[in-house]
Amino acid sequence: MLKTTHTDAAPAAIGPYSQAVCMNDLVFTSGQIPLDPATMTIVGEEITAQTEQVMKNLAAVLEASGTSFDKVIKTTCFLADMADFVAFNEVYAKYFVSKPARSCVAVKTLPKNVLCEVEVIACK
Catalytic positions, written as ranges:
104
Contact 43, 85 (CB under 8 A): no
- DSSP letter, residue 96: -
Where does residue 109 rank: exposed (0-12), middle (13-18), buried (19+ CB within 10 A)?
exposed
> Can you tell me whether residue 18 is helix, strand or coil?
coil
Amino acid (1-letter code) at residue 123: C
